[in-house]
Amino acid sequence: MNTLTLHIEYLLLKHDCVIVPGLGALLNVRQPARYDEERKLWLPMTREVRFNAALTHDDGLLASSYARKEQVSYAEGREMLGDAVHELLATLRQESLVTLGRIGTLSTHEGTLVFSPRHDSKRLINILGYHEAPVSKPDSETSLQEELADEIGCAPVNKIAEESSIASEGRKFDTERNYYIAVNKTFARVAACLAIILITSLAFVLPPNTQTNVDKASVVPVEQMLQPRNPKASAPANKADIEINEQRAEQVEEPEGRYHAIIATFATPAEAEAFASAHSSASSELRVVNGRTKSRVSAFSTDSREEATRRISETSFKQEYGDAWIWDAE
């Protein structure tokens, strides 16, 4: 029941109506500041919590607050709210009085729910530090504007409006406080039309962008993947190279070492095989290592991590594959 009271107090800070399903609704009743003609006093704004027993349907506000606070689903939050309301009603039937934290108390009188707020409007005004102001009301709106203008040191609103109307008609313009630049309307329209024509002409004259960007997950630049490094890669010069490429396309042998020097990563084995075929040379024969989700191109493999680190740190290897990294196949 204490948890239910805390939820109601929190929601009343942001909402004017919080409905407790099966019990009633707690309402924030606000009254703006007003002038009392009889007492000649300015009365501050007031707020008071009231109870309406006729609103008992579930609007979901309290249930959502439970679900959000306890980090559960809405259905579970609604069930927690139902248990709390059932406990509150049981206590009310047994003791005839229930305290709702800092909001007030609920009691039963001849079968009717009676709500008593903890703070009435007058007490709440004193707590907030508001007081009644014995200030006489001005006789007219014009006099009020003049009094406010004297306090802040500016001209009344009606005088400002009058000066603005005079300036708009062209009879008077204060050049000491404002900048004025005369622009011919015809000239402005012609300039706008010329700008539109120029932009439209550039759209037709400039060639469209026909370049197709290819996304590849690789440490090797895209341009190097699209174009072979040497003519031998794109077109084998002799019959031996053709046979080697055909054997590699039919079956790719997995390296036996645990640690691999990876130079490129692809989404499919076909892309990895194409890259390996295009970039293999006599000094380094590239191979494909197929993983669970990616296919990687390996320059060499070894069972020793120290050896793999030493080899990729060599100057000749760095010049050829500067972005290579070590991958543990296990």
Name the nearest CA neighbour of 23 among 85, 83, 66: 85
pLDDT tens, per residue, the chain with 330 residues: 688 889 988 998 889 899 999 889 999 888 787 777 787 777 777 778 888 988 888 889 999 999 999 999 999 999 999 999 899 888 888 888 888 888 888 888 877 888 888 776 666 666 666 666 676 555 555 555 555 555 545 545 455 445 555 545 555 666 667 766 777 888 888 999 999 998 988 887 777 666 555 554 545 555 555 555 544 444 444 555 555 555 554 444 444 688 888 888 888 888 888 888 888 776 677 888 888 888 888 888 888 888 888 888 888 888 888 788 888 887
Q: Work out the end-to-end distance of the chain between its first and last CA atoms, rounded to an integer number of angstroms.
A: 57
Q: In whole angstroms, what is the distance from residue 131 CA to residue 80 CA?
A: 43
Q: Cβ distance 26 to 103 under 8 Å?
A: yes
Are 259 and 329 within 8 A, CB to CB? yes
pTM reported for the whole predicted model: 0.38
Q: How far apart are CA 33 and CA 243, in angstroms?
A: 96
CA 210 to centroid of chain Cα atoms: 35
